[in-house]
A and B are shown apart, each in its own frame.
Chain A
Amino acid sequence: MATVTEAPPPLAPPAPETKPPRRRGRWTPYLLLLPGLLWLVVFFALPVIYQASTSVQTGSLEEGYKVTWHFATYWDALSEYWPQFVRSVLYAASATVLCLLLGYPLAYLIAFRAGRWRNLIMILVIAPFFTSFLIRTLAWKTILADGGPVVGALDALHVLDVTAFLGWTADDRVLATPLAVVCGLTYNFLPFMILPLYTSLERIDPRLHEAAGDLYAKPSTTFRKVTFPLSMPGVVSGTLLTFIPASGDYINSDLLGSTDTRMVGNVIQSQFLRILDYPTAAALSFILMAAILAVVTVYIRKSGTEDLV
């Protein structure tokens, strides 16, 4: 009984003291969110709304633009520029597949076999970021230049005959062809594929490989049944990080391509900056955004990443 009657006094005084910190604690998450939210509102939400309104405006540069809810702009943009849309998706998808084919073995090597070379190889993967995107792409212009050693070698090996037959190159050139654009895209976005792949491969317990081997799986089966399924989160985020920016890219097509390789990014850029047809440019941007969202949603559903550990 004595303990019961004595217990409340020591408990009572701290109670009012604990209230203020608790109240402060409740607001902390929102305070932490605030800078990021503000940033998003100012630099993402507002421009998006502004562009959305632009896309349904009509008028001219001289008379000014007015919101007339002219949704026909979307239809006109799509019917006029659908080849560029298809090309964008095609080029971006090709570059993504190439990135995966080049990046997976490298990420695998870094994660499981590199040993003390791991950090050095990681630095080499990231090294290109120390130079600007533009300079790196311009360098490819030199590498693939007509009459250069690369084109010469490809020609001598009759590779160019094959690629020309497939429609990837033309006239014994590499520059100003789809091949050059896809190569540029692949090169520029490769690190975005390797890094997530490496992260998810590195998390795999090497004992799972041993367990699979112990349970009669050949190394190739171990890869198919254990390593690859467990690296799916990396594959999904790597392909998204490559595909999304690649499909909106215009620098590679601009510098390494020709008028025949124009992607939707190039169209938007010229509509905005040269032709100054703002509604069409804004409409194209929204169509691209919607298309990417649709592709990504279907892709994530199909790959079932939410089911992965």
Chain B
Amino acid sequence: MKTTEETTTAGGGDVRLTGISKTYGDFTAVHPLDLTVPQGSFFALLGASGCGKTTTLRMIAGLEEPTSGTVHLGDQDVTALPPYKRPVNTVFQSYALFPHLDIYENVAFGLRRRGIKSVKKQVEEMLELVQLGEQARKKPHQLSGGQQQRVAVARALINHPKVLLLDEPLGALDLKLRRQMQLELKRIQTEVGITFVHVTHDQEEAMTMADCVAVMNAGRVEQLGTPADLYENPRTTFVANFLGTSNFIEAEVDATSGDDIVLKAGGGKLVLHRSRASAPATTGGKILAGVRPEKISLTHADDAGRIPEGRNRITGRITESSFIGVSTQFVVDSPVCSDFEVYVQNIDRDPRLAPGAEVVLHWNPAHTFGLDAAQDIDAGVETVEEEVV
């Protein structure tokens, strides 16, 4: 009891995972992993189901014992501590509210266990924060999914944990409610300033909420960074495909000049800035040149002469187009890539851009990123589709 009190008042600290791993028999759920979550940040662990993100979270909570490695909260090594002695709280995927207790008692549970007698004020304040003051005497099964979710958050937050762990907390909610709760959680996090570690398979959720995202795949962290950094500078095809959509061109390094790498793909030449290549480029070597669909401009082949100099260009023919409202999404068949995706803002729509039209795709070379060609181009693609369905 005492340790909990002391650590919660001792004032935060980072969550540090050092060489932490988890194996079940022959299966390695989490490969040795080093991760530091800065104090006060909203951190997301993003990945498809079975990638080890929930296991990692459970090891921080103490619900899973790591096979190797240590967990530190601030300066305190909590690896050997059972969950009830750790100054962390969890919002469970299915909320795990106590069905025999009413909302008030659910929220008061943690305080009572720590021997706090006068819980009334705190519980009422917490219920106000999540806008459930009037439901205090109801049982969990009498509430809607969104309300139960807020009870789960309140029940955890009332303890002022050093770290709040959220295990896919929005997974059971419908899309509209999910968007609303994302903003709500973000607001609460900013208000209370507690470190949030959020596990999700929804890349949009991770990007909108988190300050920092760790993309996990097959028990490893593929890449760690701010949402914008991950999106703009993916270092693996998995990250490039899992976060949004990417187009890849298998290219050969033709020459290197200063900060630019000149690539040869199909018949044409592409320019890649050296700073954006995450794989070493040696003349004659292979590299994957990637570009995001919204960075590309589409010009009808008849107007090709009007495209400014110095842009990367590729020719192709439109095979599909779908009108989304804000934008139109095209699929273009080109010699270097059979299904090039292009999103064009609907500002001045060119009526000639219809399936069958010959077009030129062109973009600023600065938007090209280079990846190691030894990878599977489609890594992370199927998983995304699975999750969507």
A residues with a Cβ closer than 8 A to B are 205, 207-208, 210-218, 221, 225-226, 229-230, 308-309
- The answer to whether A211 and B96 have CB atoms under 8 Å apart is yes
| Beyond A208-B99, A215-B109, A216-B110, 7 extra complex contacts between A and B, CB < 8 Å | A211-B96, A213-B63, A213-B82, A214-B83, A214-B84, A214-B156, A216-B159
- Flag whether B114 is at the interface (Cβ < 8 A): yes
- Select which of A217, A226, A229, A309 is within 8 A of B84 by beta carbon: A217
Q: Is B113 in contact with chain A by the CB < 8 A criterion?
A: yes
CB distance from B73 to the nearest CB of A (A): 14
Instruction: Give B25 Cβ to nearest chain A Cβ, in Å.
Output: 14
Residue in B89, B90, B98 whose CB lies within 8 Å of A226: B98
Contact of A208 among B98, B114, B156 (CB under 8 A): B98
Given contacts A207-B92, A208-B98, A226-B98, contact A214 B4 (CB under 8 A): no
Complex Cα gap A210–B99 (Å): 14
When the two chains form their complex, are residues A210 and B92 in contact, meaning their CB atoms are under 8 A apart? Answer: yes
**Residue from A208, A214, A216 having most chain B Cβ neighbours under 10 A:** A214
Q: Determine the chain A residues whose CB is within 8 A of the CB of B83 once the complex forms.
A: 210, 213-214
Select one of A207, A215, A218, A221 contacting B89, CB under 8 A. A215
| Residues of B close to A208: CB separation below 8 A | 96, 98-99
A224 → B minimal CB distance (Å): 11
State A216–B1 Cα separation when bound (angstroms): 8
Min CB distance A222 to B, Å, is 8
In the complex with contacts A210-B92, A213-B83, A217-B84, A230-B63 CB distance below 8 A = no
Is residue B94 contacting chain A, with contact meaning CB distance below 8 A?
Answer: yes
How many residues in B have their beta carbons less than 8 Å from beta carbons of A? 28
Q: Is the CB of A211 within 8 A of B100?
A: no
Q: Is B187 an interface residue (CB 8 A)?
A: no
Q: Which of B67-125 contact A (CB under 8 A)?
A: 82-85, 88-90, 92, 94, 96-100, 109-110, 113-114
Q: Is B155 interfacial (CB-CB < 8 Å)?
A: yes
The answer to whether A215 and B100 touch across the interface, beta carbons within 8 angstroms, is no
Q: Is B31 an interface residue (CB 8 A)?
A: no
Interface presence of B139 (CB below 8 A): yes
What is the CA–CA distance of A212 and B89 in the complex, to the nearest angstrom? Answer: 10
Q: Across the interface, do B113 and A217 meet the contact criterion of CB distance under 8 Å?
A: yes
Least Cβ–Cβ distance between A204 and chain B, in angstroms: 9
Chain A residues within 8 Å of B114, by CB: 216
B84 touches A218 (CB 8 A): yes
Q: Let me know if A214 and B100 touch, CB within 8 A.
A: no
Does B186 have its Cβ within 8 Å of any Cβ on chain A?
no
Give the docked Cα–Cα distance between A226 and B84 (Å).
14
Closest to A204 in B: B99
Does B61 lie at the interface of the complex (its beta carbon under 8 Å from any beta carbon of A)?
Answer: yes
* 24 cross-chain CB contacts under 8 A: A205-B96, A207-B96, A208-B96, A208-B98, A210-B83, A211-B98, A212-B98, A213-B82, A213-B83, A214-B63, A214-B89, A214-B156, A215-B89, A215-B109, A215-B110, A215-B113, A215-B155, A216-B1, A216-B114, A216-B159, A218-B84, A221-B113, A225-B109, A230-B100
- Decide yes or no whether B352 CB sits under 8 A from chain A: no
Q: How far is the CA of A40 from the CA of B58 in the complex (A)?
A: 55
The 8 Å CB contact of A229, one of B1, B90, B100, B155, is B100
A106 to B98 alpha-carbon distance, docked (Å): 24
Distance (Å) between the CB of B323 and the closest chain A CB? 32
The answer, among B61, B94, B141, for a CB contact under 8 Å with A214, is: B61
8 Å CB contact of B63 from A210, A215, A217, A229:
A210
Residue of B nearest to A208 (CB): B96
Q: How far is the CA of A211 from the CA of B88 in the complex (A)?
A: 12
Q: Which residues of B contact A212 (CB under 8 A)?
A: 98, 109
- Chain B residues near A221 (CB-CB < 8 A): 113
Q: In the complex, A208→B97 CA distance in Å?
A: 7
- A14 CB → nearest B CB, Å: 36
Residue numbers in A under 8 Å from B94 (CB-CB) = 205, 207
Q: What residue in chain A is nearest B114 (Cβ atoms)? A: A216
CB-defined contacts of A225 to chain B, threshold 8 Å: 109
Alpha-carbon distance A167/B84, docked complex (angstroms)? 46
A residues within 8 A CB of B88? 214
Nearest CB in chain B to that of A308: its residue: B100
Q: Smallest CB–CB gap between B378 and chain A, Å?
A: 35
Over the window 116-153 of chain B, the binary record of Cβ atoms lying under 8 Å from chain A Cβ atoms (1 yes, 0 no) is: 00000000000000000000000101000000000000
Write the nearest CB–CB distance from B17 to chain A, whole angstroms: 18
Q: What residue of chain B has the Cβ atom nearest to residue A210's Cβ?
A: B63
CA distance A229 to B1 in the complex (A): 24
B96-A216 in contact (CB<8A): no
Q: Please, which residue of chain B has its CB at the minimum distance from the CB of A215?
A: B110
B4/A216 in contact, CB under 8 A: yes
Contact residues of B between 1 and 33, Cβ < 8 Å to A: 1, 4
A207, A215, A216, A221: residue with the most chain B Cβ atoms closer than 10 Å = A215
Nearest residue (CB) in A for B155 is: A215
- In the bound assembly, the distance between CA atoms of A221 and B109 in angstroms comes to 11
Question: In the bound complex, how far is the Cα of B85 from the Cα of A208, in angstroms?
Answer: 17
Q: What chain B residues lie within 8 Å of A230 (beta carbons)?
A: 99-100
CA distance A112 to B156 in the complex (A): 25
Q: Contacting A210 at CB < 8 Å: which of B85, B96, B159?
A: B96
Chain B residues whose C-beta falls within 8 Å of the C-beta of A229 in the assembled complex: 100
Closest 4 CB pairs between A and B? A215-B110, A211-B96, A216-B113, A213-B83
